[in-house]
Structure 1
Amino acid sequence: MRDLPKNIEAEQIVLGSALLEPEETVPIILERLRPEHFYRRSHRVIFRVIRELFDRGEPADIVAVANRLEERNEMEKAGGRIYLNELLDRVTTTASLEYYTEIVRKKAILRALIEVGGRIVELGYDERQDTDEILDKAESLIFDISRRDSTGDYYLISQYLYEHIDKLEELHRDPNRHTITGLSTGFRRFDEMTSGLQPSDLIVLAGRPGTGKTSLALALARHVAIREGGAVGIFSLEMTKEQVLERLLCGEAQVSLHRLRGGYVPVAKWRDIANAASKFQKSTIIVDDTPGISILEIRARARRMAAQHGLDMLIVDYLQLIEGAVKSDVREQEIAHISRSLKKLARELNIPVIAVSQLNRAVERRESKRPQLADLRESGAIEQDADLVIFIYRKDYYDEPEDTSAPSARGAGGEAEIIIAKQRNGPLGKFTVAFHKAYASFYPLAREGEDGPSF
């Protein structure tokens, strides 16, 4: 049997440095290491005492550590007083402390990988569990190692002060610009109110059937992929990948979706379709159109998308069609689990996740048809987990003429309200965009000085 990865000498030097010069070395060590990083049990015991003394604001030198070990009856577990002195003898200088802490940390990661590998093997032998659930657990175990090992950092203001001042001055010189800290949406007012789509946010985009939820989600996908150069993943549970592609092409080329599907697009418009196709060929949009996909499969496949393509945004269309991993007679509990899982996925991948959602019929029974948070279908957990909740309200949706075969009824489109009903880190409000029915897409309003379709 092969020995586990370890470096006892490096562990001894790290602990010896802490005992020799605690004020200078302990903060560095505590920032990079935890007790479980040490292979020897005695080293874990000593490290815990050093950390405890540091937390209490007491000196963590050899005298204080030895005294605390005696008080806790752990001196024998630590190897005895003679061993503490041996740790000091190992250290001639603390100048290379960071080098040795890195050795200890790397060995600990390798041991964690071996341990996780064993647990994954055991999962593989458990034939009672669903294979998708096993895959999700296996991937989670690997990701947990990466998350546990990642450490943040702090900065002196002087380190980034002038760089940020330069950015502020640039904004001041160009009053037409505004700060976008996330992904631009392509809608000026949207960006002004949200500063863009933020990493790790769960964004719920909701509306009644037929109001254009998917169209707006795909409009955001087009902008991020083509104009921002981002990689976008789309889980389409309602439409096939070909239907998603057709909508993307029509939205970008501003071609009638009905004409494209019917095969009678004017010759002149094919040039626009070819130009749009060229843009999508150069972009990164990944579509998964598996019907009835489970939340476990979504998480697993999203991780693979991120590993292979470096995801910048994820769209799930739509939330109520996802199969829950937790089987329950109460659908609200399943939806609650799904929304929490999507929020965890957004944080895990550090990208905005847009979850398209249905609204319940309560909105139809009110005099005012503008959606409210209470209208989110099947679970208040969606509202709770979401960082941003967006509703679509189209007056023309409720004002359809009786003769729907008339040209005026089909219409080219009109204006739509985008309502920001919840924003964890910003203002609430609404703004108006253009919706083109024939193109099945949303555009900025031309009167706001932005390019939009001609109606």
Structure 2
Amino acid sequence: MPETDTLAPPADSRVLAAAAGRPGTIGAGNAGQSLPANLEAEAAFLGAVLIDNKVIEELSTPIRPEHFFEPVHQRVYERVLRLLDRNSVATPVTLKPYFEQDEALQSLGGVTYLAKLTADGQGLLASRELAEQIYDLALLRELVSVGRGLVEGALDTSEEVAPMDKIAQAEADLFRVAEGATGNAQATDFRSATLAALKMAEAAMNSGGGLSGKTTGLEVIDQKTAGLHSSDLIILAGRPGMGKTSLATNIAFNCAAEHMKWQREGGAYNFGAPVAFFSLEMSADQLATRILAEQAEITSESLRSGKITRDEFQKLSAASQKLADLPLYIDDTPALTIAALRTRARRLKRRHDIGMIVVDYLQLLQGSGRANDNRVNEISEISRGLKTLAKELNLPVIALSQLSRAVEQREDKRPMLSDLRESGSIEQDADMVWFIFRADYYHEASRPDMPGPETSAEAMEKYRIWEERYLELRNRATLIVAKQRHGSTGNVPLHFHAEITKFTSPNKKDYSDWGEE
């Protein structure tokens, strides 16, 4: 840490005494007990800000009030930020009315201390360095807090000895420190909440398509949901063969590709993001094969068997080169616990700044083992863990889920919320619940025998009626939005290219009665 004594203003003697001997080292001058802080650096930085408010705009390190060690400095900086939010000027004179009755400031000399902060303007010469030191020392103090909590937790065996839980909690705490979230989570004031809401509305307005979250790459879904929003848990459910993994893969690819496009071309808003795909059912190379098949428009079966032409191989090679830098990270570790998944997700967030997570699929995750062989409780723990992860990392989580066999036993095969397998908590924890439904899948199962030379007229008519209906239903899919916490429910029409396992948005003229089959 750089020394800042030569840059410090003539601050009050109590502040200087408190800061002496500890410009960024733990314990100097107090037998190893003092927390890392440099009050002179804080005073010098505040003086620079009060002389020139634009100093804050030029900072590469975001400084918040809680990064200051001295409580008075915290309150002064917080008031400065509020004045700037109102397009006012922050100076010792404009700050004076707010601190005339501040008892803590009286011990520093009263409101004259505000003027002393600006008496020496040398802080302007190194405002960025001062800000970085304040920020770094705040992180060190938070590390001390995390370490103290880890030691106390490890020593406390009064209730339950659960070392893996304590390790997971310690890693979560360290992740917050690495993200710069010093101090404990605090309530958000209404001003900050409304500004975030306005920013989201502005993004939706300027997108031209009502998109305010991460794109799915499918216009009809984006129109229904306005995109996938941070901290949301989206459950994508369906019976086997409906195309859950295909749709999730399409969305993951589209979101990552949109981010790559934004990096290349720029723009006011980035509706894409790097994506983490946790595949507990398929291997990484199988998923990659699917994506390559979709983009090169070659069937996965042809790729696996090698039955492709030279032209198709060239298309495949071109698609592979194009997608080499795609920010899509696949973790195919089997039998993950929810705790291990959260640990890996935090690591990907820290290394690659992921903005979306896909889990395929929820029932293949394992709980902590404390559910006493109760699968319903275990699934409840997993769904709560996924929702917590979405909020902790501030990104959307799409979790695929199996449906119960009750669907197959009904004449109407359309899924309902009650069909979610093994736990009602999945519906409760989810912000959105989607069901993927393909009527042609069930219609195919009722195919009559192919007519032959000796087939009766009645049997031929039966087959003709079946085939006519099949041609109507072929390649049609419906995404049923059964729950949406922030919007309406309803059906979303999709076009499914079964050969290359790819979903697309159909033409509007083609789906006036789509989803009613």
Q: TM-score range by the shorter chain?
A: 0.7 to 0.9
Aligned to 1:227: 258
Q: How does 1:281-430 map to 2 (within 5 A)?
A: 281-328=324-371, 329-401=373-445, 414-430=475-491
Instruction: Look up the SS of the partner of 1:399 in the other structure.
Output: helix
Specify which structure has the bigger relative contact order, considering alpha-carbon pairs within 8 angstroms and separated by 6 or more residues.
1
Change (3 A) 1:7 1:228: closer
Report how far residue 427 of structure 1 moved: 1.5
Change (3 A) 1:266 1:376: same
Report how far residue 96 of structure 1 moved: 4.4
Change (3 A) 1:94 1:377: farther
Distance in 2 of aligned mates of 1:163 and 1:317: 29
Preserved CA contact (<8 Å) 2:239 2:403: yes
Instruction: Look up the SS of the partner of 1:2 in the other structure.
Output: coil
Give the AA of the match of 2:347.
Answer: R
Give the AA of the match of 1:368.
Answer: D
Give the AA of the match of 1:218.
Answer: T
Report how far residue 214 of structure 1 moved: 0.5
Change (3 A) 1:398 1:166: closer
Give the AA of the match of 2:415.
Answer: P
Distance in 2 of aligned mates of 1:240 and 1:114: 41
Change (3 A) 1:403 1:116: same
Give the AA of the match of 1:284.
Answer: P
Instruction: Look up the SS of the partner of 2:503 in the other structure.
Output: strand
Give the AA of the match of 2:32.
Answer: R
**2:244 counterpart of 1:213:** yes
Change (3 A) 1:318 1:156: closer
Aligned to 2:108: 87
Over residues 309-361 of structure 1, what are the superposed CA-to-partner deviations in whole Å (9 max), with x where a residue is unaligned? 11021100000110112521221111111111111111111111100111111
Change (3 A) 1:200 1:238: same
Aligned to 1:443: 504
Q: Please report the RMSD computed on the Cα atoms of aligned residues, expressed in angstroms.
A: 4.5
Q: TM-score, normalised by structure 1?
A: 0.73
Report how far residue 124 of structure 1 moved: 7.3
Percent identity between the aligned chains?
A: 36
Preserved CA contact (<8 Å) 1:392 1:419: yes
Q: Pick one of 285, 292, 305 that aligns with 1:249.
A: 292
Give the AA of the match of 1:287.
Answer: I
Report how far residue 271 of structure 1 moved: 2.2
Distance in 2 of aligned mates of 1:125 and 1:255: 59
Aligned to 1:200: 231
Instruction: Look up the SS of the partner of 1:430 in the other structure.
Output: strand
Preserved CA contact (<8 Å) 1:186 1:444: no
Q: TM-score, normalised by structure 2?
A: 0.64
Aligned to 1:32: 65
Instruction: Look up the SS of the partner of 2:358 in the other structure.
Output: strand
Aligned to 1:141: 173
Change (3 A) 1:12 1:352: closer
Distance in 1 of aligned mates of 2:419 and 2:286: 28
Report how far residue 123 of structure 1 moved: 6.6
Give the AA of the match of 1:190.
Answer: I
Report how far residue 157 of structure 1 moved: 9.8
Preserved CA contact (<8 Å) 1:415 1:435: yes
Change (3 A) 1:4 1:64: closer
